[in-house]
Amino acid sequence: MHLVKATLTDGTGQVTLVWFNKRWIHQALQRHEEILAFGTVKAANWGVEIHSPEWEPVDEDEDAESFARLLPVYKLTEGVDQRLVRSAAERVVESYVDLVQEPIPKALRDAHGFPGLKSALRQVHRPANEREAKAGRDRLVFEEFLVSQLALAMRRAEIQAEIGIPFPISQLTGQERTSGTLFEERHAEETGDEGPLWAEVHKMLPFDLTNAQRRVIGEIWGDMERPHPMNRLLQGDVGSGKTAVAAAAILAAVRCGYQAAIMAPTEILAEQHIACFRQYFNPVGIEVALLVGKQTAAQKRKQRDRVASGEARVAVGTHALIQESVQFQKLGLIVVDEQHRFGVLQRATLHEKGYGNPDVLVMTATPIPRTLSMTLYGDMDTSILDEKPKGRKDIITHWKQPGEREVVYEKVREFLEAGKQAYFVCPLVGESEKLTVQAAEDLYYRLSKVTYPDLRVGMLHGQMKNSEKEETMERFRRGQLDILVSTTVIEVGVDVPNATVMVIEDANRFGLAQLHQLRGRVGRDAHQSYCILIGDATTEDARERLNVMISTNDGFEIARKDMEIRGPGEIAGTKQSGNLGFEIADLRRDAHLLTIAREAALGVIQSDPRLERFEHSRLLPRVLERRTRTALVPQA
């Protein structure tokens, strides 16, 4: 470590500037009598210090106004300082800004009070004051958002212009479309007659629907009846009943003479769906087939034949559904669970197997903040389940330190002895030299041999054979295991109502969304459930995540906090720039500008769906490039 220190004084006091491994700073400072330095001031043994400060020399020819002006801060690479980049940026702006072409029509800029591009570039690179700097940046952010939202709005307009399947659902409900909306609650309340399709929904579901589920089913059925392909996102918190809503959509498609396919990202989730859908559809006489990779050749052939002949009206599976050998008789509805885990081409391949232009319903168990949803799914209609089934209680969450582990284990024993079951979750399968976290194999051994030798303990992780995973999960569902030690393989889809306790080891190692999804494996019935987070949070982010978990059960609030902490790129799981391909815009601080851009984009596309007018000619190439770039980004 090579340190360079310099003492800076203004006549009233002094501060020590410290640089690490930058020998050249010594010679550079000796060439100047006066410099301007800024950075974070920290207390030191002998006064105060600024580590790795930004600095620049004060030129004798500079006047006071020039010296005291606002300075832009640029991203740097090693060996290049701010002064060099600022100087280069100023020369570029002065020399070439007049050659820049304005992509946004003047009428659109004026409607929202944004300056022209030339002015905005001058304002961000050499602002006269903070107001100018903000105005320039807002203009550039608006342009980025506008291009993104135009790409999504253009795609949405294209989908709505396509010819789809007009499912004759009104004929099945006995209710005609009224004021553009199907199945008004008021009609059902007044007449007491919901029609035969609703009667079948009630017959197949062993519970009462929530008001939110009824509303969303109505939205989906109304969308399916239109002559254009449905492209809808179904959002809901854990335990809100998305699967039941999907079942109602599938029922409508089948009763209209079509087949439905449900594609899940993992075999465990696909098996959870097949068990659930068979329970739902058996009472109404609908056959369901399962297609997953672990099946034998004979099993796959039998299931493929059932789907191809139309005997099976519903096909549930993983990527096995998109294999060339899988053919449908009349596929009219596609349900994609956890879309972000599939690539663009995988979804397109399943779509090509459809009858004409099938409807698409996308489900996600991870609530998405509004700004992120507008950016990722702006080309889709959205339905939100914001109500839990009746009788469900909020899960009580506690955060405990590692030193309190034995007390937690004793408390868990009380629930186990009362006939309940428990999950123990940890992040790794085996030993790791890099991470000092509790491994599932070690935890399984300790719980089964030391802590709970008198109880039945099972283990589940992704490296097990499929047959072993299936057997273990089935034993837990049947109550043949008291404890299931698992990795995050149970994060989505696992539903065991008798499991009322979850202990998450090394909880500080998990992200907020993952913790919320794991917690959602308990609290599946009317019994009070608990989640205990064991973790020694040594960073501010980790402490904030765990405090959020113990303060709320609202998945949408947790998603908002998660975006504040981690950023939208990580939550979305995309591999773009970390901020969904935006160079300047930030979804966390610029949400209001995104809303403005969204409304502006919808207005532009409504009047000019293909951006063919002259005033949009400079926007069109940017929008097409954005669409191409987004389509090529894998979302698996």
Please count the structural domains in the chain: 4
Q: For the segment 3-13, what is each residue's pLDDT rounded down to a tens digit? A: 999 999 988 99
Distance between CA atoms of residues 504 and 402, nearest Å: 11
Distance between CA atoms of residues 476 and 27, nearest Å: 70
Q: For the segment 236-245, what is each residue's pLDDT rounded down to a tens digit? A: 888 888 999 9
List CB contacts of 471: < 8 A, sequence separation 6 or more.
Answer: none
> Do 150 and 189 belong together in one domain?
no
Write down the pLDDT at residue 157: 92
Q: For the segment 556-607, what is each residue's pLDDT rounded down to a tens digit? A: 888 888 888 877 765 555 433 345 778 899 888 899 999 999 999 999 999 9
Of 501, 531, 552, the one marking the end of a domain is 552
Q: Are 183 and 221 in contact (CB under 8 A)?
A: yes
> Do 200 and 147 belong together in one domain?
no
Within a domain: 571 = no
Bridge pairing between strands 288-291 and 231-236: unpaired
Strand order, beta sheet including 499-504 = 396-400, 530-534, 499-504, 421-425, 483-486, 457-460
Range of the domain at 506: 396-552
- Helix or strand run (H / E) with residue 411: helix 405-417
Given a cut of 90, is residue 247 above it in pLDDT? yes
Given a cut of 60, is residue 434 above it in pLDDT? no
Three-class SS of residue 154?
helix
Picking from 494, 485, 267, the residue whose alpha carbon sits closest to that of residue 365 is: 494
* CATH number of the domain within which 514 lies: 3.40.50.300
Within a domain: 566 = no
> Do 64 and 178 belong together in one domain?
no
Tokens, residue 478: 């049947």
CA atoms within 13 A on the CB side of 349: 16
Within a domain: 163 = no
Within a domain: 79 = yes
Tokens, residue 603: 């207005």
> Do 545 and 513 belong together in one domain?
yes
> Do 260 and 138 belong together in one domain?
no
CA distances from 586 to 140, 358, 372, 577 (A): 11, 35, 11, 12
> Do 406 and 530 belong together in one domain?
yes
Write down the pLDDT at residue 106: 95
Of 500, 528, 552, the one marking the end of a domain is 552
Give the pLDDT band of residue 308 (cuts 50, 70, 90): very high
Mean pLDDT across the stretch 624-633?
72
> Do 527 and 407 belong together in one domain?
yes
> Do 150 and 175 belong together in one domain?
no
> Do 147 and 180 belong together in one domain?
no
- Helix or strand run (H / E) with residue 504: strand 499-504
Within a domain: 533 = yes
Whether pTM > 0.95 for this model: the answer is no
> Do 332 and 221 belong together in one domain?
yes
Within a domain: 267 = yes
> Do 257 and 334 belong together in one domain?
yes
Within a domain: 160 = no
Distance between CA atoms of residues 493 and 432, nearest Å: 28
Picking from 202, 598, 496, the residue whose alpha carbon sits closest to that of residue 486 is: 496
Mean pLDDT across the stretch 344-365?
85
> Do 426 and 545 belong together in one domain?
yes
